[in-house]
Amino acid sequence: MATAVIKDRASQKRRNFISKFLIYFFLIVITACMLMPFLWMLSSSFKLNKDVFGFPIQWIPKNPRWQNYVDIWTQIPLLTFVKNTVKITVVVTLLQLFTSSFAAYAFAKMQFKGKNVLFLGYIATIAVPWQAYMVPQFMMMSSWHLNNTHLAIMCLQAFSAFGVFLMKQFYEGVPTELCEAARIDGLSEYGIWWHIMLPLSLPALSTLTIFTFVNTWNDFLGPLIYLTKTELKTIQIGLRMFITQYSAEYGLIMAASVVALIPVLFVFLSLQKYFVQGVASTGIKG
């Protein structure tokens, strides 16, 4: 009997080992497939233009061309583009954190007439693609004389239905009794939001920060429509300046793309410990 139990345990351990091995092997393969384009971009940023699409791929160039990372700052006003992108991204991220958390608190912890209908109508806008209303938006910004200004993009992206939904799901996990006790102590709704809700919602705020920062930093179509002056363009639009009518400097494009990727990686790595916690906590109720 004891021998049979030992054999069963050994068989169970073997099955567990095989299943874990297959899972980790599958995850490693998926990770490698996802990282391969970024590794190719990094490798190509050190190559001459004629060597970028060489086959077989030379992952480590024999003679790395570090000059690419110098030329990207001189051939186009890349520093200006980076400053513009940082300005727009930081302002939009802060505005979305403020508006989303503020509106989410009202939807989650306050009672007013038509709250559910208003929330459903606001969230339903997520299903409408931006291409469906970008022309009316452009006409509206044009009538306000905001074309060719960063303010146009900031105003349009200051509000996020997804951000409100994300923050509301987190706020609903906070005990209502905590808010009621604060009201009894004389704290206003603004005070409850500022002193109680915001400190408790760091994981959700971090998650929203990552999503907003990445989407705004990588936005291409919005700046393409509203910004035509060179001194106002963002880095995503500036990368097109390496492409001429008859040729494209792919080595410089890859080098500039690597530079553009660094802030996104920095933000994600800085907030990654809150990211999973924020996604998990906002999915408790729904």
Please write the tens of the pLDDT for every residue from 203-241: 889 889 999 999 999 999 889 999 989 899 999 998 888
Query: Cα(248)–Cα(211) distance, rounded to whole angstroms?
Result: 31
Distance, C-alpha 55 to centroid of its chain: 33
What pLDDT is recorded for position 286? 41
Encode the chain in three state secondary structure: CHHHHHHHHHHHHHHHHHHHHHHHHHHHHHHHHHHHHHHHHHHHCCCCHHHCCCCCCCCCCCCCCCCHHHHHHHHCCHHHHHHHHHHHHHHHHHHHHHHHHHHHHHHHHCCCCCHHHHHHHHHHHHHCCHHHCHHHHHHHHHHCCCCCCHHHHHHHCCCCHHHHHHHHHHHCCCCHHHHHHHHHCCCCHHHHHHHHHHHHCHHHHHHHHHHHHHHHHCCCHHHHHHCCCHHHCCHHHHHHHHECCCCECHHHHHHHHHHHHHHHHHHHHHHHHHHHHHHHHHCCCC
68-282 fold: MetI-like fold (1.10.3720)
Q: What is the mean pLDDT of the chain?
A: 86
What pLDDT is recorded for position 3? 65
Beta bridge partners of residue 243, listed in sequence order: 248
What pLDDT is recorded for position 284? 43
Domain boundaries, the chain: 2-44, 68-282
What pLDDT is recorded for position 130? 85
Q: What is the pLDDT of residues 29-66, one digit of tens each?
A: 999 999 998 999 999 989 888 888 887 888 888 888 89
pTM: 0.85
Give the tokens for residue 67.
């000059």
What pLDDT is recorded for position 2? 57
Query: Cα(51)–Cα(48) distance, rounded to whole angstroms?
Result: 5
What pLDDT is recorded for position 285? 45
Beta bridge partners of residue 248, listed in sequence order: 243
pLDDT along the chain (286 residues), means of 10: 64 81 91 90 88 82 88 91 95 95 91 88 88 88 90 91 91 86 87 88 89 93 90 91 78 91 89 67 47
